[in-house]
Amino acid sequence: MFSRTISISVGLILLIWLGVFVVSCHETDRHRVLTFFFDGVGPLMPAGIEDVRIDPNFAQSPQEPLWYVHEPRKDCTLCHGKRGQKLFAPEAILITTVPALCHNCHDDYTVSAQFVHGPVAVGQCLFCHNPHKSRIQYLLKEPEPKLCYKCHDINVIESMPAHLTVQPSACTDCHNPHASSTKALLKEDRPRLRQDSDRVRVKMQNYVQRAKEQKDNEQLSRQKREVADLYYRSMELYREGKLASARKGFVAVLKSGLIPPPMGETIRGYLSDIDNRLARGATEQ
């Protein structure tokens, strides 16, 4: 009777111990226990990839792509801590805040890199990445270049000289998404990019210069139209005998510096006539 009681107690202890490991976040430990007690347990999924069909939250067909899984997901406590542990970010149940949490495993580019991508510089890792898993490599929230165009203007990007002759499959074919020693975040392991950096820089400078000249020309054309309109209004006032108002307009036209010399002489003649008439006591109608 006593031995039977001991056997039952040992069995219960083993069952409790097995249950604790089965529900554990440690996938490796759980797999080790299951294979010890049971036959026919399948192998662990390769690190970083999980078959979507075994995820109860996503009932997908076998033809759909696999999930890319964040490695710490195999041990939830690495990011979310254990019960009773002090939490510094209770709204997310994390052991600390982002990006400090990410820097426990990943490099902090803001310390050593010369140029850093905007989201990285402000610690917004989750702006581009999913913390648990994604169907897109590197745990991106959206594919390239759609993700990049959430911040960058597609019209500006596609009109840049460096992009007119190169059609990469993704922005990261040429650019580092996190940091680089070049201002454009070019990849340092691409010799051709490094060799052509001066040529690209010159093209970019020319592009910026042409854009500035175009903007200046448009502004100058607009100013010339405004001066021309002011001249014609002043002429109407002059003919109507509203000499003081006409004089004010003619003076502004002269000060603009946007009229040819012969026209300037004509306006000075109008001003001389207006001054003489005002001196004789002429008034506006």
Q: What is the DSSP string of 121-155?
A: HTT-GGGTB-SSEESSGGGBSS-TTTTGGGTS-HH
- Residue 69: enclosing H or E segment and its boundaries? strand 67-69
Task: State residue 252's pLDDT score.
Answer: 92
Q: Averaged over 233-260, what is the pLDDT?
A: 90
Q: Averaged over 191-198, what is the pLDDT?
A: 58
Entry pTM: 0.46
What b/e sequence results for 98-128 when a residue is b if at least 16 CB atoms lie within 10 Å of its CB, and e otherwise? bbebbbeeeeebeeebeebbebbeebebeeb
Higher model confidence: residue 171 or residue 20? 171
- Report pLDDT digits (tens) over 140-158: 999 888 888 888 888 887 7
Q: Which of 10-14, 17-21, 69-73, 161-165 has the highest mean pLDDT?
A: 69-73
Higher model confidence: residue 88 or residue 125? 125
Give the HSE-up count for residue 52: Cα atoms under 13 Å, Cβ half-sphere. Answer: 15
Task: State residue 4's pLDDT score.
Answer: 62
H helices of 27-180, in order, are 27-37, 77-80, 109-112, 118-121, 154-159, 161-164
